[in-house]
Amino acid sequence: MAEMDSLPGIAFQILQSVFVVLAAPLLTGWINQCRAWLQNRSAPSILLPYYTLAKLFHKDAVMARDASPLFRLTPYVLFGCMWLAAGIVPVLATDLPFAPAADIIALVGVFALARVFAALAAMDIGTPFGGLGARREMLIGFLAEPAMLMTLFTAAFISGSTQLTTIVETLAHRDFAIYPSLAFAGVAFLMVLLAENARIPIDNPTTHLELTMVHEAMILEYSARHLALVEWAVAIKLFAYMTIGIALFAPWGIAEGGDWGGLPLAVAALAVKLTLAGAGLALIETLLAKLRLFLAPEFLATAFLLAVLGMLIHFLVSG
Amino acid sequence: MATSLSGQVVNLLAAFLLLLAFAMLSQRRVLTLIHLFAWQGAALAASTLIVAHSTGQAHLYFSAALTVALKVMLIPWVLHRLIDRLYVRWDVETLINIPTTMLIGIGLAIFAFALAAPISQMASTVTRSTLGIALASILLSFLMMIVRRKAVPQVIGFLAMENGLFFAATSATYGMPLVVELGVALDVLVGTFIFGIFFFHIREQFDSLDIEHMEKLKED
């Protein structure tokens, strides 16, 4: 952390932020491709999310007559929040000049801000589906958030800091040891990841049935560039969550700040880990069925329980 | 980390044991409950085996073998046959809803950990830190017996409690003397058979395995 304001550090920061924003749709494309393979369908191109974004940016935006400025503003807020999150999470390097500005609690807050704006915008238009989606999203969000915080706290206790960069540095440099607490936190984090990113046991990202939608119902009214920004923000969010998971539970290979030589290795390691994680997510989504909405609290209570257990076990066995 | 590799593996297995205790608490299906019970037995046997290996206590090998034979194979098999014959594979009714049960479970786990902390500071065994987990899984099994309405899950809770006790004995004092272990194992086995016979009697009497019906007995 010594050369916090040095030029290479800032260069790393900018590079990483741009990299995440540009690479996020690729991850979404990869997951969709894996899902198609697993379900015996012919897979779409891995670049399809980029084509979709390009197509949406070229269309004319249609606004509902009663839309307030909030509705217009929300896609930019969502995109901005996710970009900010992408700047905080150590994806390629640990020494990020922006990172001290926000620790893990602020990171969860950034995600919460995005969620609140999305829900408000969905209610703004006044269509029944928007309100329904927003309420469901808030139900899931308020249950997922404590579980997420507990998971991050377990890692914070192990490394003695709530700074994500410090946590990753500590975890990447530890001696080999089995941490039961981290195993619990890992499972809890996976469950939160599925719930927060509207993935299958909680929500179906590809559904066309309005009555079962959660996230999709909220963004039904968006079109063209607004929809593109929302979709892009969703992709960045998934990317950010996956990289948080990787940073906490498999941080090996990440480059130290200012270490340009470590960068190719870091990119390669990240590519391998994300490829595996994306395939794993597709597998989970193929194997599981969507839960009834009223079972979502049970699912997230389990995640919370696992996270709390992880923290307790950390104190008990000091590891 | 000061603890050795075997200590770490035992810690991991202990955490797994606790996880299984919570999974049993939240499980709705009898059949899965039996599978989870068998897994718990397997985790118990594995941890006993590692403790036996790292401390050189020969009788622990024997008790690990006993655990595998009884709790991973024989008792789950008996329970399987029992639920097939009784035809009670379907969902279990709980008295309290499952998220609440799990929150109570977390409370119990914290209580057990706090209770075990001073004891494990005094102990000198490799496995001292797992005493809290053992205590927590005993209490959780106890909770499971309380919140379940049907007879079969209650018995599984009882057997899981015995697993927890056994684990507590291993972690606190490297296991009980062999004679005691044999006696307990036999008791559990006989207990399971007697419970099995009781199930049939209960069902014959009340056409159901719901324990609530037993309360009517005193009014007659």
Q: Cβ A305–B22 below 8 Å, yes or no?
A: yes
Q: What angle do CA B34, B36, B41 make, to 5 degrees?
A: 95
Contacts with B18 from chain A: Cβ below 8 Å: 309, 313
Q: Which helix (H) or strand (E) holds A279?
A: helix A263-287
Please choose, from the candidates A247, A128, A94, A130, the residue with its C-alpha nearest in 3D space to the C-alpha of residue A185: A247
Query: Which letter, b or e, does each residue of A161-197 get, where b requires 16 or more Cβ atoms within 10 Å of its Cβ?
Result: bbbbbbbbbbbbeeeeebbbbbbbbbbbbbbbbbbbb
Tell me the chain A residues in contact with residue B130 when contact means C-beta distances shorter than 8 Å. 316-317
Dump pLDDT digits (tens) for A176-211: 666 778 888 888 999 999 888 888 888 877 777 777
Measure CB to CB from residue B9 to each of A178, A298, A309 and give the nearest one: A178
Handedness of CA B77, B78, B84, B88 (dihedral sign): negative
Place of tokens 């969905």: A122
Expressed as residue numbers, the domain containing A90 is: 12-317
Q: Which residue has the higher pLDDT, A8 or A309?
A: A309
Contact A303, A192 (CB under 8 A): yes
Bridge partners (DSSP) of residue B149 are none
> Helices marked H in chain B — which ranges?
5-26, 30-55, 58-67, 75-86, 98-122, 131-147, 151-173, 178-206
Two tokens at B83? Answer: 């639920």
Q: What is the domain count for chain A? A: 1
What integer pLDDT is reported at residue A1 of this predicted model?
Answer: 42
**For B13, nearest residue in chain A (alpha carbons):** A180
A308 token code pair: 């709390």
Residue A135 in any domain: the answer is yes
Classify each residue of A61-98 as buried b or exposed e, where b means 16 or more C-beta atoms within 10 Å of its C-beta. Answer: eeeeeeeeeebeebbebbbbbbbbbbbbbbbbbbbbbb
Contact B106 A309 (CB under 8 A): yes
Binary contact (B102, A301; C-beta < 8 A): yes
Give ipTM to 2 decimals.
0.72
A7 occurs within a structural domain: no
- Chain B CB within 8 Å of residue A232 CB: no
Prediction pTM value: 0.82
The SS3 of residue B29 is strand
A156 part of a folded domain? yes
- A250-261 tens-digit pLDDT: 777 776 655 667
Locate the chain A residue with the closest alpha carbon to B115: A316
Over residues A219-268, the pLDDT tens digits come to: 888 888 889 999 899 999 999 999 888 888 877 777 665 566 777 787 88
Rg of chain A over Cα atoms, rounded to whole angstroms, equals 19
Q: Are B55 and B172 in contact (CB under 8 A)?
A: no
CB-count burial class (<10 Å; 0-12, 13-18, 19+) for A129: middle
E-state strands within A3-59: none
Q: How far is A298 from chain B (nearest CA, A)?
A: 6
Kindly state the average pLDDT of the residues A262-289.
Answer: 85
Q: Are B144 and B24 in contact (CB under 8 A)?
A: yes
Per cent of chain A over pLDDT 90 is: 8
Query: Does the residue A248 lie in any domain?
Result: yes
Return the pLDDT at B187: 84
- Of the listed ranges A28-37, A276-285, B174-183, the least confidently predicted one is B174-183
Nearest by CB to A298, from B22, B98, B129: name it: B98
Residue A28: is it exposed, middle or buried by C-beta count within 10 angstroms (0-12/13-18/19+)? buried
Calculate mean pLDDT across residues A119-148. Answer: 88
Residue A1 lies in a domain: no
Residue A4 falls inside a structural domain: no
- Cross-chain Cβ contact B3/A306 below 8 Å: no
Q: Identify which of B106, B132, B133 has the shortest CB distance to residue A305.
A: B106
| Per-residue confidence (pLDDT) for residue A2, from 0 to 100 | 45
What is the residue-level pLDDT of chain B in tens, covering all 220 positions? 346 777 778 888 888 888 888 888 888 788 888 899 999 999 988 988 888 888 777 788 888 888 888 888 888 888 888 888 877 766 666 778 888 888 898 899 889 888 887 877 776 666 667 888 888 999 999 998 888 877 788 888 888 888 888 888 887 777 777 788 788 878 888 888 788 788 777 777 777 777 677 777 666 5
A312 and chain B in contact, CB less than 8 A: yes
Query: What are the residues whose beta carbons fall under 8 Å from the beta carbon of A126, sequence distance 6 or more?
Result: A66
Q: Does A276 touch chain B (CB under 8 A)?
A: no
Strand partners, B210: B150
Encoding tokens for residue B127?
């496995």
pLDDT, average across residues A157-178: 76
Cross-chain Cβ contact A309/B102 below 8 Å: no
Q: Check whether A96 has a pLDDT greater than 80.
A: no
Beta-bridge mates of residue B150:
B210
pLDDT at A273 over 70: yes
Mean of the pLDDT values across residues A271-282? 88
Place of tokens 């709390």: A308
Contact B110 A178 (CB under 8 A): no
Tokens linked to B110: 């914290």
Whether B12 and A178 lie within 8 Å, measured CB to CB: yes
Average pLDDT, chain A: 83
- So what's the pLDDT on residue B192? 81
Spatial separation of the C-alpha atoms in residues A165 and A91, rounded to whole Å = 10
Contact A315 B105 (CB under 8 A): no
pLDDT of residue A76: 92
Write down the pLDDT at residue A5: 56
